[in-house]
Amino acid sequence: MVLHSKKRRNGLLQACEPCRKRKLACDHDTPCSRCVKRNTQGQCRYHPAPMTRAGPAPASGVISRRAPPLEPPHLPLAHSEAFHAREHRGDEQRPKIDGPVTISESGLGHRSLRSSHGYTTYFGESSSSAVIEELNGNLGMDGGEVNVLPSISVSETKIQQSTEVLSHLQNAMVLAQFFYRWLATRGGYIVYSQVYHIWLAEVNGLFKSAAVAGGPALNELTRVVWQNTQRTMTCRSSTPVSIWAKQSSLRWESIGLIFSALGLMAGTLSPQDPIFTSNPGERRDRHALVTLMARLVHECIGFCRESEARNDLFLCLLYESTILLGRTVGNTSAETWLRVGEVCDTAVLLGLHGEKSVDAQTPFYLCELRVRLFEQIYGYDKFLSTYLGRPPRISYRHCQVQQALDLSDEQACLPEPALSAAISRLRDGWSPTGPLNRSSWRRVMSRQSLIREDILGITLGSFDQDLETRISIVRAGIENTRQDFPLFAKMDPDLLMAQLQESLLPMIPGRNVPWQPLDAVASLCMHCDYLHNDFLLERAIVMRLKCDATKLITSAREVLRLALKVFQMKDFFCDFRVDMINLLAFYALPSAGVLAIELLKQNTSSSHDPFLPRSEIIQQFSILVCSLENVGPTEGIYSLCALGLRAMKRVLDVLLAPPKSSQDSGTGDFVRASLDFEHYLASQNDTMLLEWLGTTDFDYRVEN
């Protein structure tokens, strides 16, 4: 190595370009030790400081704001579609990125600084650090290296507490065979299946040796987990997924993700599944198991916070814990709402709202994991905002909602050149043949989430300027979204259900493979969500413009009809119990509430609306009541379903009561109900509708 002796104007030795850009201390060798460790010796170059005078310069010379960029190393990885965008709002367009992914300093396409505990935080263009970075570039200065604080000390009390959590993981390993079955049929929820397999193998091997030695060995293993969690995870573009998974296997993030996956698995399955009945003489309680996993996940999140672990796996854990919370305490709880806020804040802190790309420190599988993760966070934010009638936390106007490629977990983790071959077979990000996977359906749903944000802007927004124009644009966007669906997503849901009842495995259009239960459920739920978008828009139009409700009634009838028809196949989809219950809570109840309002209005007047067939709707209400009675008190969504059940029973009592022969004297009561309805409309909250339906006295005859 040769010491680089050129100095800057301040008398300090100059740093190489990679160290200067990363604001790290350089030892001024050629190549420096940091570049040697990163195996990037070819990039270790020293450029003249821009402000250093090297002799007379032309009068017209302009000082460069930045040193010339280094030529990025060639990467054979390419997204055929990193972000598919649609135009549906006039001259405003979301960016579309085609071609190879770009190389950036951080893999997230943004300025970043490493915190005192090692994790990278995001600083955007408006931040003070952006100006300072430009100033440093002009002065030829490097930012130096932020001192890393010593490891956080862990008390013995905390060791004992965390050892108890770790012991539950040892007990949970008996469920590994069921978890493997789950991964084989459904894949990983966010984290790849292969990563879970490696984690389980590593943890199982360590527990076998720790259990032999007894308690002290388990305590020592707990200390190792704490030490690993406090270390920063490092990665290079050449790091295979197996190495990345092994270095993260004994951390509180990965342990929490195992607990989370087991909880999500147990919460979805039927109580008669072998996972709960396989042990002779011992029957596992499904609700108790899910509740235990949720508590352990909460503990692991706390350990990660204490260790200052802010990374991709921690964000995965936070997000999955939100789903688990919704299934235990319900989506209406304050705990769930606050947890979603932490998820969104952490995603922005880590810069996942910016462009995600492959770079020297980011292999393809890690980049794709970030894309999948933020895509899910963005969609869940819109779902919960719709469900609770609250403003969303993340907007596509300030972020890049890239779409994950239509690749399976196995394909996303392939080494080169198999990975490039798999990507090259995609067409506009879609796989032209073969089985569907979670990413296939998430690509479809992410487009609907973008539309949902626009609908929320109309529903919850306070600006009336150009409202009708905005409504027309969004309505066209809903239709364009459906036209953009791939062939498998356009299949008529009624036809799909008919084929499923006739044949166990009909063929998927355009894929030439049979429908699997997961794909069928995803397709039917996707169609319900598509109709729900139309319902929400029509409801917003009635609320904001006070116009005729005919289109809203038509939309509500279609949502209710499809949701109830899918729920009637709950025995066929017995392994997707949560999805079936969610159909009732998220789609059937809001639409039924709107139809109930209209029928109650019709019930007190002599007019008849041909778009509101009384007999058909009352029959659907009866089916809905029977369906809601199947929701048990251990479900996270039980409180809402119980509220809806009470309301719909009351509505049926009023609608089916014998007619009163005397002159109508209940005008005042109906006016009061109508005024209450207007108050409900102003609240944009489905729960208030159900409360109103269940408490308002519509039947004036009881009072008279």
Mean pLDDT of the region 465-469: 88
Q: Which CATH number is associated with domain 1-54+67-71?
A: 4.10.240
**pLDDT greater at residue 88 or residue 269:** 269
Is the pLDDT at 679 greater than 90, yes or no?
Answer: no
Give whole-number Cα distances, 455 to 173, 445, 474, in Å.
Answer: 45, 15, 7
Q: What DSSP string describes 32-80?
A: -HHHHHTT-GGG---PPPTTS--S---TT----SSPPPPPPPP-----S
pLDDT over 70, % of the chain: 75
Q: Tokens for 127, please give them.
A: 């931040």
Domain with CATH 4.10.240 in the chain: 1-54+67-71
At 50-75, the pLDDT tens digits run 444 444 433 333 322 233 333 333 33
**Angle CA 406–408–412, to nearest 5:** 90
pLDDT over 90, % of the chain: 52
Mean pLDDT of the region 625-646: 92
pLDDT at residue 184, as a whole number: 86
pLDDT category, 91, cuts 50, 70, 90? very low
- Find all residues with CB under 8 Å of 537, minimum gap 6, and list them: 455, 458, 471, 474, 475, 478
pLDDT at residue 403, as a whole number: 94
pLDDT category, 25, cuts 50, 70, 90? confident
pLDDT category, 677, cuts 50, 70, 90? very low
pLDDT at residue 134, as a whole number: 65
Q: Tokens for 199, please give them.
A: 């984690």
Cα–Cα distance for residue pair 222/250, rounded to 1 Å: 9
pLDDT category, 169, cuts 50, 70, 90? confident
Is the pLDDT at 185 greater than 90, yes or no?
Answer: no
For 150, other C-beta atoms within 10 Å of its C-beta total 7
Mean pLDDT of the region 376-388: 96
Is the pLDDT at 233 greater than 70, yes or no?
Answer: yes
Is the pLDDT at 528 greater than 90, yes or no?
Answer: yes
- Element spanning 313, H or E: helix 312-328
At 290-336, the pLDDT tens digits run 999 999 999 999 999 999 899 999 999 999 999 999 999 999 999 99
- Element spanning 280, H or E: none
Mean pLDDT of the region 533-555: 94
Range among 132-136, 502-506, 585-589 with highest mean pLDDT value: 585-589
Cα–Cα distance for residue pair 534/612, rounded to 1 Å: 18
pLDDT category, 211, cuts 50, 70, 90? low
Mean pLDDT of the region 186-190: 87
pLDDT at residue 614, as a whole number: 93
Cα–Cα distance for residue pair 364/75, rounded to 1 Å: 10
Is the pLDDT at 406 greater than 90, yes or no?
Answer: yes
- pTM score, two decimals? 0.79
Cα–Cα distance for residue pair 63/369, rounded to 1 Å: 41
pLDDT at residue 318, as a whole number: 98
Cα–Cα distance for residue pair 393/631, rounded to 1 Å: 31
- The radius of gyration computed from the CA coordinates of the chain, to the nearest angstrom, equals 29
pLDDT at residue 94, as a whole number: 30
Mean pLDDT of the residues in the chain: 80
